[in-house]
């Protein structure tokens, strides 16, 4: 009798056929080696929620490196084994994709917040090291066991009840990134953090969170900002004291900006920007530039993101001084900022000059260039820049409307 999970794994609207083929290959090779083989975590959780899955998290009871070698021999590709962790990455043949192969393991934390040390173990132990019951289920896929659910921690019940439940009281102290993960799953599935689990987000675990590296914290915040429901998640980070623990200067997310998180620049603006970047810009726009520098360092932001954030914050502060200026004044002022800074300030303030600058003004250039000036026998020097700027301003402010008018003005300026 096929189980529910077997049927769900065979449904092409939930598991794309090429992933299904990949899964069969892994399962067959694993069966041939006599290694029980499982898919775990989000794969099981999302299938049980009848949601499409893409990532295959493969765990074997045995030796993932040997499994990788068998797959390599049978199907080709490339293998990167990692002996200390008994894991391997299989680079699939004729594709840029990779598949992680993991040996079931147990974990120990040397001190709170440390990265764990690992020992090969059983699937039951492997599930016990996980973050939440809904992520601690496995489905076996080798041979006749295809589709068997392993759910020793009652994840399926919590999935039905809509609860995010940590596995033990020290879970967040061991690894406080789980606090941000809990908030993310709660917001994504519109679940609730189970009351005891909520209590474990306390002064002690938040204290360990404070000591985590910027890189680990930023990674979790990136994952939150990539989500549809990021606004609710950010609000939750504030109410649970997470933001303050990361850095006291991190502001509460302004919920009136929730709808801005998905408003990426349109393609014609030619401003490449990802949802996560836009998220940080919208969230941190009102932080004063001095505090931003500290936050950017704390969260290990790239220099590009840091400059865009500082630019946006400074521009917003300068905006009142620019209101009602001529287009040329706007343009020369706005050009000093990264275009993405201008974009985010335009989203938040709705100042029409910013939108016009991005769509039109910044591309306005006179026909005249350095070569034209040379041909007029003007000696090169600072005057070139003055004349070209003056001509550009004339176009921007509507003083000249065609090439003939520009020429006339040029003749006057070049006298
Ligand atoms: P998502 O849809 O968010 O990617 P996922 O379950 O695939 O969900 P991953 O971050 O890819 O999430 O992690 C895979 C699995 O590894 C999780 O389902 C969970 O079982 C386990 N895991 C990940 N991070 C942790 C952690 N910090 N502590 C314990 N277990 C974790």
- Alpha carbon of 158 to ligand 1 centroid (Å): 16
Residues 6+ positions from 366 with CB-CB distance below 8 Å: 388, 391, 392, 394, 395, 406
Q: Is the CB of 41 under 6 A from ligand 1?
A: yes
Q: Is the CB of 174 under 6 A from ligand 1?
A: no
Q: Is the CB of 42 under 6 A from ligand 1?
A: yes
User: Using one digit for the tens of pLDDT, what is the confidence trace for 268-320?
Assistant: 999 999 999 999 999 999 998 889 999 999 999 999 999 999 999 999 999 99
- Alpha carbon of 135 to ligand 1 centroid (Å): 7
pTM of the predicted protein model = 0.92
CATH class of 1-161: alpha beta
Question: Do 114 and 120 meet the contact criterion of CB atoms below 8 Å apart?
Answer: no
Q: Is the CB of 177 under 6 A from ligand 1?
A: yes
Residue with tokens 């694993």: 30
Same fold, 1-161 and 163-250: no
Q: Is the CB of 226 under 6 A from ligand 1?
A: no
Backbone φ, ψ for residue 179 (5° rounding) = -65, -45
User: Using one digit for the tens of pLDDT, what is the confidence trace for 340-367?
Assistant: 999 999 999 999 999 999 999 999 999 9
Please report, to the nearest 10 degrees, the dihedral formed by the alpha carbons of residues 158, 161, 165, 167 taken in order: -20
Q: Is the CB of 341 under 6 A from ligand 1?
A: no
Enclosing H/E stretch for 58:
strand 58-60
Three-state secondary-structure class, residue 156: helix
Give the atom of ligand 1 at the shortest distance from the alpha carbon of 184.
3
User: Using one digit for the tens of pLDDT, what is the confidence trace for 149-168?
Assistant: 999 999 999 999 999 999 99
Q: Is the CB of 131 under 6 A from ligand 1?
A: yes
State the pLDDT at residue 2: 55
Domain boundaries, the chain: 1-161, 163-250, 255-363, 370-413
Question: Do 207 and 236 meet the contact criterion of CB atoms below 8 Å apart?
Answer: no
The third-level CATH classification (topology) of the domain covering 163-250 is Hydrophobic Seed Protein (1.10.110)
State the pLDDT at residue 415: 77
Going by CA atoms, what residue is nearest to atom 24 of ligand 1?
131
């Amino acid at each position: 009798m096929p189980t529910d999970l077997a049927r769900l794994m065979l449904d092409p609207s939930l598991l794309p056929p090429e992933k299904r083929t990949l899964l069969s290959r892994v399962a067959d090779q694993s069966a041939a080696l006599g290694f029980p083989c499982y898919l775990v975590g989000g794969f099981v959780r999302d299938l049980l929620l009848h949601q499409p899955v893409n990532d295959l998290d493969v765990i074997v009871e045995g030796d993932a490196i040997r499994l990788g070698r068998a797959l390599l021999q049978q199907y080709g590709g490339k293998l990167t084994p990692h002996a200390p962790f008994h894991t391997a990455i299989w680079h699939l043949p004729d594709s840029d994709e990779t598949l992680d192969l993991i040996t079931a393991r147990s974990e120990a934390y040397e001190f709170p917040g440390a990265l764990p040390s690992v020992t090969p173990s059983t699937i039951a132990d492997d599930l016990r090291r996980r973050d939440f019951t809904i992520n601690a289920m496995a489905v076996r896929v080798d041979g006749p066991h295809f589709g068997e659910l392993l759910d020793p921690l009652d994840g399926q019940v919590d999935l039905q009840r809509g609860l995010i439940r940590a596995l033990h009281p020290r879970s967040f102290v061991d690894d406080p990134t789980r606090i941000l993960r809990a908030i993310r799953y709660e917001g994504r599935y519109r679940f609730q953090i189970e009351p005891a689990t909520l209590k474990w987000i306390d002064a002690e675990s938040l204290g360990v969170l404070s000591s985590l590296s910027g890189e680990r914290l930023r990674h979790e915040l990136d994952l939150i900002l990539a989500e549809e429901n990021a606004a609710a998640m950010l609000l939750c980070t504030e109410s649970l004291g997470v933001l303050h623990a990361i850095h006291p200067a991190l502001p509460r997310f302004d919920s009136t900006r929730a709808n801005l998180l998905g408003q990426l620049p349109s393609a014609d603006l030619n401003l490449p920007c990802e949802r996560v970047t836009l998220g940080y810009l919208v969230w941190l726009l009102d932080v004063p530039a001095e505090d931003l520098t500290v936050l950017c360092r704390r969260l290990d932001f790239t220099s590009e993101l840091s400059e865009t954030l500082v630019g946006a914050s400074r521009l917003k502060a300068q905006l009142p001084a620019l209101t009602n200026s001529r287009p040329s004044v706007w343009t020369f002022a706005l050009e000093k900022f990264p275009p993405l800074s201008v974009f985010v300030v335009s989203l938040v303030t709705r100042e029409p000059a910013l939108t016009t600058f991005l769509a039109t003004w910044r591309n306005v250039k006179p026909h005249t260039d350095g070569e034209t000036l040379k041909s007029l026998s003007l000696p090169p020097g600072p005057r070139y820049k003055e004349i070209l700027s003056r001509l550009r301003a004339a176009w921007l402010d509507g003083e000249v409307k065609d090439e003939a008018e520009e020429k006339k003005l040029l003749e006057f300026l070049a006298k």
